[in-house]
A and B are shown apart, each in its own frame.
Chain A
Amino acid sequence: MNFVIPDVNLISLLPEIILLIFATILLFVQTGSEKKRICALLAFIGLVITLVMVPFYWGKGIEGFGGLVIRDNFSLMCQTMIIVAVLLAVVYSYQYLVFEDKNIGEYYALTLTSVMGMNIMITGTDLIVIFLGMEILSISLYVLVAFFKTVREGMEASVKYMLLGAFASAIFLLGISFFYGASGKTALNAFVMLDGTSAMAMPLFFMGLSLILVGLGFKIASAPFHMWAPDAYEGAPTSVASLLSVAPKIAGLAVIFRVGIGMAKYSPEIMMTIIAFMAVTSMIVGNFAALRQSGLVRMLAYSGIAQVGYMLISLLGIREGGGSALLFYLFIYVLMNMGAFGIAVLLTKEKDKRLLIEDMKGLAGQHPIIAFTMAVFLISMAGIPPMGGFFAKFYVFKHGIEAGYLWVVIVAIITTVVSLYYYFRVIIVMYMTEEEEKGILPKHAEVNLFNAVLVAVALLIIVLGVIPGSLLEIAQHAVAF
């Protein structure tokens, strides 16, 4: 038996290596009074370096570790979105964490390792590599959710997230083992059904595929596997919740896309049925549960579940180029969801107190810019024309209809109408209620970096809503294999 050493091409993992180096440095930062600023700056620099590297990889399709890792345009596009989301989360964390919080270095180090895990997930072409990335991501996030270990809500959120996440990982791993049994391999792009074992291979393959999708469904918080999400988002520090609500969903959806592309020639009807079921239940559960929420973060959590349902529709048309609609929707989703969570970070005054929608009374009178950006994010989530969210939904529905899933799109349109109610309730509270004596924010909030970031994100959403062409072109380029 001859053993061939695979071609280890470390260039293919350079962004992850840089993230790991910065995470390690962050663990050793000991500078007393300036620690908060230096840690945030280090994390920011590490992320910016990995973002700058994207154009150099674009179009090259560099492979590494004997094909286990591939940095193609699709993974680069997902990497860009993840890093944009995490950069925003770092800005939010800088605002949210006060000086007394110890272990700030560990906070940012865990953020960077979670980004590393997500990057491994989206670049991996082998299920075991994807599983490794998923675990790096999940374990970092369990600790981040439990970061304030004296806050009861945060610890409860963490234990629920950790137990259900570990359960989902075990189910995903069982799926991988069935997949391995059916094909003798775990590679997604080189899947070949074994001859001679066909009687058992086909059922095993379908069971493996279903279990893998269930495991990923947990990670992207799609119904009926969503029950951890609202608790985890509400209990977690709000800056962590913003990260949690966006970044793992990008990675999970990217993996579902890769699985779908890899399986395209082996009758993926069963996969499409599962995805359609997950999409419909997510849209119904997410939108109707969001109607009766009084907490802002919890409402955003359920709206995030509904948004995942819309994104899954684009995967139904995976063979007809639905991936471009997925990438477009994900990009808009990153901007609008991170924006809305940014407002939540700004308004969270005390760490162990829930932020209610009623707390936002009269925000428009005192802080017109913040109220306006929040309105932009919410209108974009509802999918109303001038914003980017409209085109995102439009492309997704178009691909769903072209793939022949008209009934799913009809459910999506009905639930979108339902969603208008809870998005506009927030806007009405902000704009149409009496000003209170003492608002939630201090009267003279200065113009700082944080507000500038929020305004920039809101402007980007409006720009992408008016001229969506160039982003869509990049997305189509990214999914053309």
Chain B
Amino acid sequence: MGIDKPVIAPELSVSRQLAEVSATTRYLPVAGLSALPRCDVRTAYVGLLTIHDSDLNTTFLASELARSARSNPDAARSHIRKQLQLLLVLVRSVRRVETATL
């Protein structure tokens, strides 16, 4: 089974964002994150896999994904695959230095 069709957070135009500046920011319910397990010393790193319907000038990866998601679902899946590869290699690089030297 591969990657399912990406679900993109609904677009919120910049003008709407600006209108919301003074409104309440949507905060995450704390319960979800505080429920995470405790960890041993020195084992907590945080990685991110975030997919938004971004404006085209945010981070390079987000922009590429948003651009392709609008035009071609297959291209979007390919971009998500690349992001997953980035994350996996990042994790592996951390694991590697935990047990070895350069």
A and B are partners in one complex rather than unrelated chains: no
Residues of B within 8 A of A (CB): none
